[in-house]
Structure 1
């Protein structure tokens, strides 16, 4: 395996320490055209086909899924979008982690072309996972750790999510918006920072993404073809003593239909998050035990702060409850 380039590592660390965002270009094997094609195909499916994929906590009590599946447009929600959440194939998840929340089979639409769609999405998920691990190796080296320091968190049982998003302009009147303020009506994703570790975002050629440079001053991220926008999440920033930044960002309503596809790189549910990452004598994160947060339990508490998951239901024991029984 080729060691991370010193030049690339320094550039990544500089961007993550100062802004928390960077652009990743010239990625071998990355096909922006193909993901865009399948994303548009999915969201153009008839409503009665897509509705069968809606997650339980969106007023679909018959749905067995709570974390994988479709989130529809919601009345008076400042996150004006619908999106599909795709997770790791459940057959690749260990029996222990399958006992915990969040790991679920991804539901797929009933359609003749679904086998091709599923095949692509599965391949793309694996591609983005490996790309995220490569970026984490650069960050590990930049933090003075061994190159593979973070690998064990992501190589098995990862909670990583591939999301495809469809936005509609407010002018389309897809849902009621009578309870929103004038400022809220300007946005289709409100100001927030991501939850976990890394986000690798495909924006295609759409404008609208803005990052907070500090004190509420926002800067637009210019879309670049075949380029990923990479940013840090809250947990990773906190874990580094805020040396790395989890920058707040938002998406504006640009008046036209819009698409994007983030990949959220997340560790496995039972990953122990160290409180002393930069000072501890670990050779890998696999050495951390009996201290800090259990990642999956923390993530459930975190996602409930987002509007789309405020009614999220936990139907399996949390790790802290399961481990207490042993």
Structure 2
């Protein structure tokens, strides 16, 4: 457990969702949450309200997804999708100049695309998903959609708890969530990935994915396999392990939440190290909570009681961290900020579906790999 009197952290706190079932437990949970939000930016959530059988089924499907025949994966390449959904080959992305050794499928919650000619291009970002054929993975799509629906509901419940921890009305977050603190399904599209980090070869880089921040409000990570590898950077710049804890999600805060809370909530730099040579692959499933695309969060920064805002002073100044992405928040609509990141990370998708932005960011033509920063 992290020492709540410390302005730095050397481990990730564990919060128990079942505490919320009593008045006394609820108050304790909110107090622990406030500390994690301000001083750590990461936490484990035990006993999350997501059906265990759906989690277990999704865990069982995960290696089978990557074992699909090569030609079936290529049929749902991300380059086919203007919404950046689908399959990405191993080593397709760079972070801070190094190749990320991961293979992944991007999915999301169901959404009907609303873009029409004349609308901002970023409205193309949300839309239909690409799925592997049902006959190759029977039940996978239904299981994953059931899982995503439950995590989406949890993400809204969690935002209301954050409002309570920071002593603001839950409606304060409604503009970022399409006008409702608990939107109906289909109002927003949240993204999710299923990721495989293969064991590295002798002498290779150990970068599964390099240091970065997440972009939206909250990320809910299911660490599928029991491999360590996730690391979180504290204020001193030290890398702290966040190993898998059975029966938990890892939750971390995105740059959008940090921005709208005047830095009260802390987005924390993190990375993933590849499994060592001879190991089995590491698998994980992150869920990224989105916010309304047209919102320019710099215009909607929340107000807090002085005594709440002062709580971040005890944290001290953030030291040098290795992550620099999402600096455009506060300048542009969030949809455009996310589109910039996607275009830079996946230039093959941009070349096909966003040619003007492709020329802007890649005047020399298609690079061998994408790099958000």
TM-score (norm 2): 0.69
Q: How far apart, in 1, do the equivalents of 2:293 and 2:103 lie?
A: 26
Q: Name which of 208, 217, 228 aligns with 1:197.
A: 217
Question: Is structure 2 residue 78 aligned with structure 1 residue 29?
Answer: no
Question: Is structure 2 residue 170 aligned with structure 1 residue 140?
Answer: no
Aligned to 1:5: 26
Aligned to 1:171: 201
Is the Cα contact below 8 Å between 1:207 and 1:221 reproduced in 2?
yes
Question: Is structure 2 residue 106 aligned with structure 1 residue 85?
Answer: yes
Aligned to 1:277: 301
Aligned to 1:250: 271
Is the Cα contact below 8 Å between 2:259 and 2:297 reproduced in 1?
no
Q: Name which of 157, 160, 179 aligns with 2:187.
A: 157
Aligned to 2:361: none
- For residue 309 of structure 1, report the CA deviation from its aligned partner: 2.9
Q: Secondary structure at the match of 2:283?
A: strand
Q: How far apart, in 2, do the equivalents of 1:129 and 1:216 lie?
A: 32
Is the Cα contact below 8 Å between 2:85 and 2:129 reproduced in 1?
yes
Aligned length: 289
Sort the Cα spacing of 1:11 and 1:89 in 2 relative to 1 into closer, same or farther, 3 A: same
Aligned to 2:206: 186
Q: How far apart, in 1, do the equivalents of 2:110 and 2:27 lie?
A: 34
Deviations 1:30-75 (A, max 9, x none): 433222112122111111111111111xxxxxx2444111111136
Q: Secondary structure at the match of 2:211?
A: strand
Q: How far apart, in 2, do the equivalents of 1:203 and 1:302 lie?
A: 24
Aligned to 1:109: 132
Sort the Cα spacing of 1:297 and 1:280 in 2 relative to 1 into closer, same or farther, 3 A: farther
Q: Secondary structure at the match of 1:34?
A: helix
Aligned to 1:46: 69
Question: Is structure 2 residue 162 aligned with structure 1 residue 123?
Answer: no
Q: How far apart, in 1, do the equivalents of 2:250 and 2:107 lie?
A: 19
Aligned to 2:287: 263
Q: Which runs of 5+ in 2 are unaligned?
A: 1-20, 306-329, 358-373
Q: How far apart, in 1, do the equivalents of 2:26 and 2:174 lie?
A: 18
Q: Secondary structure at the match of 1:37?
A: helix
Moved more, 237-246 or 267-276: 267-276
Q: Which runs of 5+ in 1 are unaligned?
A: 57-62, 173-181, 282-290, 319-326
Aligned to 1:73: 90
Deviations 1:261-287 (A, max 9, x none): 000001132234253523289xxxxxx
Q: How far apart, in 1, do the equivalents of 2:141 and 2:272 lie?
A: 28
TM-score (norm 1): 0.79
Is the Cα contact below 8 Å between 1:70 and 1:85 reproduced in 2?
yes
Aligned to 1:176: none
